Amino acid sequence: MKHNECELNIPYPPIEVEEKNFRYAQLLLEDYAGPNGELTALTQYFYQYLITQNQYSDFADQMECISIVEMKHMEILGKLIVLLGGNLFYGTYDCGKYTFWSGYNISTTENIRNFLMENIEGEKLAI
Q: Is 118 annotated to bind ligand?
A: no
Nearest by Cα to 79 from 3, 4, 8, 17:
17
Q: Is 38 annotated to bind ligand?
A: yes
The DSSP annotation for 18-75 comes to SS--HHHHHHHHHHHHSTTSHHHHHHHHHHHHHHHTTT-HHHHHHHHHHHHHHHHHHH
Q: Is 3 annotated to bind ligand?
A: no
Contact partners, residue 82, CB within 8 Å, separation at least 6 = 88
Nearest by Cα to 86 from 7, 6, 17:
17
Q: Which residues are annotated as a binding site for Ca(2+)?
A: 61
Q: Which residues are annotated as a binding site?
A: 38, 61, 70, 73
Q: Which residues are annotated as a binding site for Mn(2+)?
A: 38, 70, 73
